Chain A
Amino acid sequence: MEWANAIVQGIVTGGFYALFACGLSLMFGVMGIINLAHGDLAIIAAYVAIALIPSTHLPMVWAFVVVVPIFAVGGYVVQRTLLQASLDRSPFTTLLVAFGMSVIIENVLLEVFSANGQSITIGTLITKSFSLNSTITISYFSVIVLAVAIMVLGGIQLFLSRTATGRLVRAVADDREAAQLVGANYRHVFGIAAAIAFATVALAGLSYGMLTEFVPTSGVTTLLFAFESVVIGGIGNVWGTLVGGVVLGVAQQIGAQINPAYQILAGNLVFLAVLAVRPRGLFGMRTA
């Protein structure tokens, strides 16, 4: 039954990874940006929450309502300025700029908030859990995160497949120049995609800050898990990202079950195995 527990916990963690990963996948799928600062952006969201919310006297859960829109607007602005300017030069410049952003964010956070661990305290919800049976106990909060992840991914999927703007995003992702020929301002479309990506990364960062303690450099590990989820699931496939997150989460929990030291290693091994057998990921479809 311990194995069943490992799998259940893995699935729940996987939802969290998928929430982290979908913004990364979107930025790469639409703009071709490998956003090395993705994890750090999530951590900024958590710090913004602890810096802003206490002064408003709102309950901490309101961080979602306040920080997510700020990040959406910020995503649009950063894309239209810094990232677009890098893209206009070259993909390599963009990679370096993202790396630079990551370094700067970590150092500024260290300077402002110190290296002491912090967390977003939301009261008793975080400790509440329910039992499926004698060995499987699941925390309410992680189920909520899983549900949010599924809703966010479903929402993105619906947006892309059913709305006119989503259709334009796919067209721009397919062929930027041809999209210009039908009248699309691709820079604006990039901005929209970045706004969505930043909003989801804020959601992920806030959830992370509520689930566990974080420090200014926590973004590096979260980036790794997000990246692995995207690659396992297959780039450009929304539901693939969820499966990728779940596969990674389950692999890590099973590894930890064998030996707690194997948790991260097991995830990395599954990642490498998928990469070796299916370089495009489990659901990769980017072949015309």
Chain B
Amino acid sequence: MSEKAVSAALLEVRGLTVYHGQLRALDNIDLAVATGETYAIIGANGAGKSTLLRTIVGLHEPKSGHVVLDGRDITREAPDRRLAAGVALVPEGRRLFPSLTVEENLLVGMHKARPGTFDMKRVSELFPWIPDRRKQRASQLSGGEQQAVAICRALLANPRVLLLDELSLGLAPIVVRRIYEVLPALVAEGLTILLVEQDVAQARQIASQVHCLLEGRTSLTGRPDEVTAEQIEEAYFGVGALPVSASAADPGG
């Protein structure tokens, strides 16, 4: 227990810097997600949100910094090992296997499953239409349905931390609402969630902590009730975007 006290966070990112070629996509990012927490990363297009999640699961190699899961440094581990350790990503754009059926997509999601509460029966409770559609090819589903299957595919691995990259991308508001409705049930089961969202209102509503990225840097962190809409707007678009400081030529840095 004493070790847990040193690092109460389940997932921690320390001083993470990531390059895409010459471009510094992330610059010295720190964050800590506590067990059972829902943590939201917000930021404009190109801020580095996806790069952050993809680096956490091992799809990008950081220039420097560490990814730590429950006190264990997993920075050098391959993506498949990180899944086995308990980090699962629902990637931007769903990324289902188009030529596989719904059921096959879910079965593939289970092939390195850790022991846990999520099985076929449990995910069918979350989205009751899934059993009827299980023989359909994933490519024949609508965007919202694909997003639901993508979430289930990740859940079936029984992760400790679920990373969600822009669930709402390209979906109608009503569909987005239906998908976000299942998240509280997941949190209630003890799942820790790190999500990326461009929709600030959605993020503030669901998260216990928001973390704003601006051009690869942390521009704001805090509890949703601590930060004001103005602060978020400033952190989201950068100082230069605000009429008040339009004369401030130096973007700071």
Contact = CB atoms under 8 A, between A and B. Distances in A.
Contact of B97 (A164, A174, A180, A183): A174
A134 B152 CA distance: 64
Interface stretch (B21-29, B78-86, B168-176): B78-86
B211 interface: no
Q: How large is the interface on A (under 10, 10 to 19, 20 to 34, 35 or more residues)?
A: 10 to 19
A285 B83 CA distance: 31
Interface in A157-199: 164, 167-168, 170-171, 173-175, 177-185
B109 A167 contact: no
A151 B163 CA distance: 44
A182 B139 contact: no
A178 B91 contact: yes
Interface string B88-104: 11010001111110001
Given A167-B104, A183-B84, A185-B80, A178 B97 contact: yes
A183 B111 contact: yes
B59 A180 contact: yes
Nearest to A285: B99
Q: Which of A175, A180, A182, A288 has most chain B Cβ within 10 Å?
A: A182
Contacts, number: 73
B91 A168 contact: no
Q: Which of B95, B97, B109, B112 has most chain A Cβ within 10 Å?
A: B97
A181 B95 contact: yes
A178 B83 CA distance: 12
B16 to A, nearest CB: 19
Interface residues of B, number: 28
A170 B123 CA distance: 23
B80 A170 contact: no
B112 A183 contact: yes
B22 to A, nearest CB: 19
Contact of B108 (A182, A285, A288): A182
Given A182-B157, A183-B112, A288-B139, A171 B59 contact: no
Contacts of A180: 58-59, 78-80
A177 B97 contact: no
B98 A182 contact: no
Given A170-B99, A178-B97, A181-B83, 7 more contacts: A164-B107, A171-B105, A180-B78, A182-B109, A182-B153, A183-B112, A185-B80
16 contacts: A167-B104, A168-B108, A171-B100, A171-B105, A171-B108, A174-B100, A175-B95, A177-B59, A178-B97, A180-B78, A181-B88, A182-B108, A182-B109, A182-B111, A183-B80, A288-B139
Interface of A: 164, 167-168, 170-171, 173-175, 177-185, 285, 288
